[in-house]
A and B are shown apart, each in its own frame.
Chain A
Amino acid sequence: MKRSSRIFDLIIGVGLIGVAGFAMLYFLVNERFEWIPEQVLELARDPEILKRPAAKKCSECHKAIYEAWKDSRHSISWTSENFIEASENHTKEKCLPCHIPKSVRGEKPSPRLNLRDEGIYCVSCHFIDNKMQGPYDLLAPPHPTFRNPDYVRSKFCGSCHQKTFKEWKATNVEETCQDCHMPRKKGRLTQKAGFNLLHKKRWVGDHRFLHGEIKEKDVVMEAGWEENYFIISLKNQTIPHFVPTADNGDPRLYLYIKFFNEAGEEVDKAKEIIAPQQETALPYNKKIQYRYRLFDKVFKAEVELKYQPAWSKEKTTVRAETVRR
C-alpha cells in the first residue's frame, strides 16, 4: 500500500513537473522567445531553408499552408496549360516577372531562373533580403522569422496586381486584398508533431488566394424601354475594384440580350463584352448604361450575364432575367 502510494506520488510529481515544464516552454516560445540565446537557436537552424528551397521543404512544418497553396492559382502560375498557351510556351518576357517572381516586395518583381515550375511559391513572397518574413514576429527554430506589416497591406499584392491595386485604392474602401482573398482563421502555423502544440493559435490567411465568384447580388441590373431603344444598366455594387479585373489576363463578363416579338420569335440579339483588356469592366459602385436600337417590334428581351475567368473557356451564369415591354 505504501509502495503503490509512493509510485502514485511519483507519477503525479513527474506529471506536475511535465505540465509546469510544458507551460514554461509554451510561455517562452510564444511570449518571450527573445530570452532564448541565439547560440541555442543556431543548433536548431536548418540552413537549407535559407537557400531558397522548393515549397515541399516548407511543407515539412507548414503543411496546412502548403496544401492550401497547392490548391491555388499561384502554385500553377507557370505550369497551367492556359498560361503556357498565352505566354507562347513561356517565351513572352512580359509574363515572367509575375509568373515566376524572385522576391515580391511592393514593386514589380524580377523573374527567377530556378524552380520555375513552383510558380509563385513560398520563397517568392516570404524570403526577402535573405530573411524569412511574415505578418508575425515569432520563434521558428529552423529559420529566423521577421515581422513585416506589408503582409496585411494591399500594396504587397499590388506588386503584381498593379492595375487592380490602383482600382481598389480609388474606391477608398478599407478592406484590403487580404481581407477578401486571404480570409483569416485561427489556426496553427505549423503542423509538425510536437511543435504544433508549442505554438499558440494565430490568425492564418487562406493561402488558396480565393478568387471571389461573381454572384447575382454583386451586379445590380436595371432595364427598360424607351421608344425604339432598349436600355440596360449594370452596377458592380459590392466588389471594391473593377469587375472583372486583371493586369494582363483576359477575364470577361458577357452580357447577352435576345429580343423577341409578340409571337415569341427571336428578331434580334446583342452582346456586350465586359473585360478589363477592353476597358469595359464595371467600376465599383457606378452604373454603366448600354442602349440598343430596336429595328423590329419587340415584346420582350431575355438578358443573361455570364462570367468567364481568365484561365478558362467555361462560362457561368451570374444572372438571367426576362424584361417585358
Chain B
Amino acid sequence: MSFLRIILIAAAFIFIGILPVHAKDMIVKEPPKSLSKYYPPESKQSKWIQQMHKMSTHFGGVFVNLKEKDFENVDIHADKLVEEYKKTSEMVPEWEDYFDIKAAEAFAAAAKTHDIAQAGKASGKLGKTCGKCHAENEVSVWAKFHWPSFHKIKVTDPISEKEIEFDDYMGSISASFKGVTVNFGEGQYDRAAKALKIFKSRYMELKSTCSKCHATQDVKRFYVGQDADTAFAGLSQELDSEKPNPEKFWKNIGLLGKTGCKHCHLVHRTNSFIQEMWEK
C-alpha cells in the first residue's frame, strides 16, 4: 500500500470519526452549570477550551509524528491524549457518558504499533465520542461562554443621558428612526430634520457601544463607519434644502439600513436570540 493511500485512509478515519455532525443531530440546549467553573468569571482562564485544544493537539500530534516516523513523540502524544481525555471526562459530570476511556486507550495502543493504518482505524471510535459531544454541545458552549452577551450591555442614551438596557436602546433608535422617515413621508421636513439630529446622535452612540467589545477601529467602522457618515451628511443636506429630493433621501436611508443595521444584525442577532432564550 502506498504511503499516500495510507495517509488518505487515516485522514478519512479521522474526519469520519470526528465530524459525524449532521443537521438532524444539532441541538441547542443550555450547557450544564458545572461547565461555568471552567470559564471566566469563575475561572481565571477559559479552561474548557484549553482542554479541548490539549486533546486536539495530542490527537493531531500522533498523526503528525507517525507521518514523520518520529515514533518517540508518537508514544508521548498517545499517552498524553489518554491522560487529558481521562481528565476531561471528569471535569463535567453531566457529560461523563460522552467519554469512552477504553476507546482512548485502544487508540493509544494502536498508535504505539506505529502503524498509521491501525492508528487511523482506532481513531474512528474515539473520534465519534468527540463528534457526538460537539454535535450536541458545541454551539451552546460557544453561544454561552464565547460570545459576550448583549443583554448585559448597558447604553447611555445620548438624549436622556440615562443608562438603559441594550434592547431598550435598540427600541429607542428604532423610534427615532421612524421620527425621521414618517415625518419625511408626510412632507414635514422641519420635524424630520429635528428628528434626524436625535436619530443621528443615538446611531453614533453605537460606536461607543461597539467599543465595549470590539477593540479595533476597523471592526467598529464595519458597523458605524464611512457609509453612516455619508448617509447622515446626505440626509442633513436634503432636509436643510428648500426642496428635499425624496430619491436622494431614501437612498441614504437605504444606505444606513444596508450597512450599519444589516451588518450588525446579520452577525449578532442569531446568537443574541439563543442567549435571550436562556436568560429569560
Q: Which residues of A contact B (CB under 8 A)?
A: 86, 88-92, 94, 113, 116, 247-248, 250, 270-271, 273, 275, 277-280, 293, 295
B41 surroundings in chain A (CB, below 8 A): 89-91
Q: Which residue of A lies closest to B161 (CB)?
A: A254
Besides A92-B213, A273-B205, 14 more A-B contacts (Cβ < 8 Å) are A89-B40, A90-B41, A91-B39, A92-B148, A94-B213, A247-B215, A250-B208, A273-B201, A273-B204, A275-B208, A277-B207, A278-B208, A279-B207, A279-B217
Of residues 191 through 237 on chain B, the ones whose CB sits less than 8 Å from some CB of chain A are 193-194, 197, 201, 204-205, 207-208, 211-213, 215, 217, 220
A277 surroundings in chain B (CB, below 8 A): 207-208, 211, 220
Q: Which residue of A lies closest to B197 (CB)?
A: A270
Q: Which residues of B contact A (CB under 8 A)?
A: 39-41, 44-45, 148-149, 152, 158-159, 190, 193-194, 197, 201, 204-205, 207-208, 211-213, 215, 217, 220, 240
Q: Which residue of B lies closest to A163 (CB)?
A: B217
State whether B207 touches A90 (Cβ < 8 A). Answer: no
State whether B211 touches A248 (Cβ < 8 A). Answer: yes
State whether B205 touches A293 (Cβ < 8 A). Answer: no
B148 surroundings in chain A (CB, below 8 A): 88, 91-92
Q: In the assembled complex, how far is the CB of residue B239 from the closest CB belonging to chain A, in whole angstroms? A: 9
A273 surroundings in chain B (CB, below 8 A): 158, 201, 204-205
State whether A271 touches B44 (Cβ < 8 A). Answer: no
Main secondary structure of the interface of A (DSSP, over half): loop
Select one of A116, A250, A270 contacting B211, CB under 8 A: A250
Select one of A89, A91, A248 contacting B215, CB under 8 A: A248
B213 surroundings in chain A (CB, below 8 A): 92, 94
Q: In the assembled complex, how far is the CB of residue B262 from the closest CB belonging to chain A, in whole angstroms? A: 21
Select one of A91, A94, A250, A293 contacting B40, CB under 8 A: A91
Q: In the assembled complex, how far is the CB of residue B152 from the closest CB belonging to chain A, in whole angstroms? A: 5
State whether A295 touches B208 (Cβ < 8 A). Answer: no
B205 surroundings in chain A (CB, below 8 A): 273, 278
State whether B204 touches A278 (Cβ < 8 A). Answer: yes
**Complex Cα gap A273–B41 (Å):** 33
Select one of B45, B201, B217, B240 contacting A293, CB under 8 A: B240
State whether A88 touches B158 (Cβ < 8 A). Answer: no
Q: In the assembled complex, how far is the CB of residue A285 from the closest CB belonging to chain B, in whole angstroms? A: 22
B201 surroundings in chain A (CB, below 8 A): 271, 273
Q: In the assembled complex, how far is the CB of residue A86 from the closest CB belonging to chain B, in whole angstroms? A: 7
Q: In the assembled complex, how far is the CB of residue B214 from the closest CB belonging to chain A, in whole angstroms? A: 8
A279 surroundings in chain B (CB, below 8 A): 207, 217
Q: In the assembled complex, how far is the CB of residue A133 from the closest CB belonging to chain B, in whole angstroms? A: 27
State whether A116 touches B197 (Cβ < 8 A). Answer: no
State whether A295 touches B45 (Cβ < 8 A). Answer: no
B45 surroundings in chain A (CB, below 8 A): 113
**Complex Cα gap A275–B206 (Å):** 12
Q: In the assembled complex, how far is the CB of residue B164 from the closest CB belonging to chain A, in whole angstroms? A: 14
**25 residue pairs from A and B, CB less than 8 Å apart:** A88-B149, A89-B41, A90-B40, A90-B41, A91-B40, A92-B212, A92-B213, A94-B213, A94-B215, A113-B44, A113-B45, A247-B215, A250-B211, A271-B159, A273-B158, A273-B205, A277-B207, A277-B208, A278-B204, A278-B207, A278-B208, A293-B193, A293-B240, A295-B190, A295-B193
A278 surroundings in chain B (CB, below 8 A): 204-205, 207-208
**Complex Cα gap A88–B275 (Å):** 15
